[in-house]
Structure 1
Amino acid sequence: MISNASRRLALRGPLAIAAAAFALAPLHASAADKVLRVSAIPDEAPTELQRKFAPLGKYLEAETGMKVQFIPVSDYAAVVEALASNKIDMAWLGGFTYVQARIRTKGTATPIVQRAEDAKFTSKFITASPAIKSLNDLKGKTFAFGSPSSTSGSLMPRYYLQQAGITPEKDFKTVAYSGAHDATVAFVAAGKAEAGVLNTSVWDKLVEQKKVDPAKVRVFATTPTYYDYNWTVRGNLDPTLVKKLTTAFLKLDPAKPADKQIMDLQRASKFIPTTKANYDSIEKAARTAGLLK
């Protein structure tokens, strides 16, 4: 796994850090080696990402006739740089990470599919404090976001906080970055932060798996909807392979047991086509929030 860069540096110099990490990795031509190199933003623990991807990887091998290699990374910026430098062929990105990849690749990185749920995604604000009942109650409190580059764990919650007249660095007692959605829940449950925010999908999963007690850590606010996660391919990937990958995702059918296993792990009711234009509002929010120049 690529060594972890400082979370605090994620917005100031992420691509430089990632470039240094990926410079150590050998570059292979997937067309020649018949290897499809796939990665994902580390929005959950590495072991969980590997568990979720394993059946999907086997499915994509059968659909493409290629060996599928999952390449884990330790920070969001590394995925962006990997796409830009042709170190990977496809990645699971959040909306903001895709926007960063689009800018970094001069518009060539292309989102191909998203879950139906990603067209109307939300984030949950959580707390274990009985004194916090609304966003205004967060003033003067300690707060945890996820990764600085996370759409649902940082960018969009920050944007909606600002729309509500709240500036985190000015109005909160402290601002921390947990690095991942499940880590944010752990921060709040352990009292390391009085409140935090994470994406709805991970929150629902943790509740279902009884890894969080909603009687102790509760949701007190939910953001409006926005576009989020997608599968993105590098811009110079073979168009025939891009078509195979797109078709493979779109034909996943929850009525088939093997497909249902894949979709359950991906928390998808179905996959739908997506376009670059769907993420224009994410870029606008990022510029409004001061996270893009």
Structure 2
Amino acid sequence: MPLLKRLAALTLLGFAGLASAQAVLKVSAIPDESPTELQRKFAPLGNYLEKETGMKVKFVPVTDYAAVVEALATGKIDMAWLGGFTYVQSKIRTKGATIPIVQRQEDAAFTSKFITADSAIKSLADLKGHTFVFGAPSSTSGHLMPRHFLLQAGIDPDKDFKTLAYSGAHDATVAFVQAGRADAGVLNASVWDKLVEQRKVDPAKVRVFAVTPPYYDYNWTVRGGLDPALRKKLTEAFLRLDPANPEQREIMALQRTARYIPTRPENYDGIEAAARAAGLIR
């Protein structure tokens, strides 16, 4: 084969390889629950997004919250399920390049629940001198916002608790309290409700004794530089999801929502302000 034809063939192969790489949508999520639960929740949604985009969708598990932020910043993943705080971290890390596209309607007024198995704990004030467990350090609903509201209530977690631990995930927080490894803890309301429904926690033994005021939380965020047409297609796909559609009912049930709504960066300004006030970002 003449040199020019060989070069042309190699060029075409190169473009084909590039097209093949771009035909895969890499998606991840903050590890706020066990890896098996995250995979179970995502599988039907991933299949739906494949049909809607015409792309292969690959779920990329990560070890911790920081890894999701870094993967978005470096283009190793295209889209991620983030908490409000991890979105803020990604915005700062990428100088505003990451874009939140949708959130569940529940995430516009999300809450955290404080739980205990200790009959002596009936209010936030009763937590002083007790052992306590948060979720992951970068969790919005398992750490940042509960810490923010504790501080507003005059309780400094770093000074007023006998010991302070981080479980790493919401379901792990419940396990800590249920096993007596901590007198009390806090987790997001959605996971608590799910664990009660699945009978993985006995609310007669482990009870909710306080609930935070509402705040913005979870969202689906895309990386900077993602094709705007693909971003639009993904946004519209989420907004079309309808639990009245039999084929989409399981997706919505696993995502614990009745519908997705658009979101925007400004929704998380309160999260950023709380994080700066708590000294978690500077």
Candidates 140, 164, 169, aligned match of 2:153: 164
Which residue in the other structure is 2:133 paired with? 144
Candidates 206, 215, 223, aligned match of 1:217: 206
Moved over 4 A (4+): 28-31
Aligned pairs for 1:75-114 within 5 A: 75-114=64-103
Offset from partner CA, 1:250-286 (integer Å, 9 cap, x none): 0001111111110000001100000000000000000
Q: Distance in 2 between matches of 1:63 and 1:173?
A: 51
Aligned pairs for 1:37-56 within 5 A: 37-56=26-45
Q: Distance in 2 between matches of 1:249 and 1:219?
A: 32
Which residue in the other structure is 2:3 paired with? none
Candidates 240, 251, 274, aligned match of 1:285: 274
Please give the root-mean-square deviation of Cα atoms over the aligned residues, in Å. Answer: 1.0
* Normalised TM-score (structure 2): 0.93
Offset from partner CA, 1:29-59 (integer Å, 9 cap, x none): 6774400000000000000000000000000
Q: Distance in 1 between matches of 2:269 and 2:22?
A: 35
SS at match of 2:248: helix
SS at match of 2:132: strand
Q: Distance in 2 between matches of 1:160 and 1:29?
A: 48
Which residue in the other structure is 1:118 paired with? 107
**Cα pair distance change 1:31/1:244, threshold 3 Å:** farther
Q: Which amino acid aligns with 1:51?
A: R
Contact 1:30 1:36 in 2 (8 A): no
**Cα pair distance change 1:44/1:171, threshold 3 Å:** same
**Cα pair distance change 1:189/1:169, threshold 3 Å:** same
SS at match of 1:144: strand
Q: Distance in 2 between matches of 1:95 and 1:258?
A: 29
Q: Distance in 2 between matches of 1:32 and 1:102?
A: 25
Which residue in the other structure is 2:13 paired with? none
Candidates 190, 207, 213, aligned match of 1:201: 190
Q: Which amino acid aligns with 1:186?
A: A
Q: CA deviation at 1:74?
A: 1.1
**Cα pair distance change 1:99/1:48, threshold 3 Å:** same
Gaps of 5+ in 1: 1-27
SS at match of 1:281: helix
Contact 1:128 1:195 in 2 (8 A): yes
Q: Distance in 2 between matches of 1:41 and 1:60?
A: 19
Q: Distance in 1 between matches of 2:251 and 2:22?
A: 26
Q: Which amino acid aligns with 1:121?
A: F
**Cα pair distance change 1:31/1:268, threshold 3 Å:** farther
Which residue in the other structure is 2:124 paired with? 135
Candidates 251, 254, 262, aligned match of 1:262: 251
Look at both structures and tell me which one has the larger radius of gyration over its CA atoms: 2
Gaps of 5+ in 2: 1-16
Q: Which amino acid aligns with 2:275?
A: A
Q: Which amino acid aligns with 1:76?
A: Y
Q: Which amino acid aligns with 1:58?
A: N
**Cα pair distance change 1:133/1:240, threshold 3 Å:** same
Which residue in the other structure is 1:271 paired with? 260
Q: Distance in 1 between matches of 2:88 and 2:76?
A: 19
Q: Which amino acid aligns with 1:133?
A: K
SS at match of 1:47: helix
Contact 1:144 1:175 in 2 (8 A): yes
SS at match of 1:226: coil
Q: Percent identity?
A: 76
Q: Distance in 1 between matches of 2:25 and 2:242?
A: 23
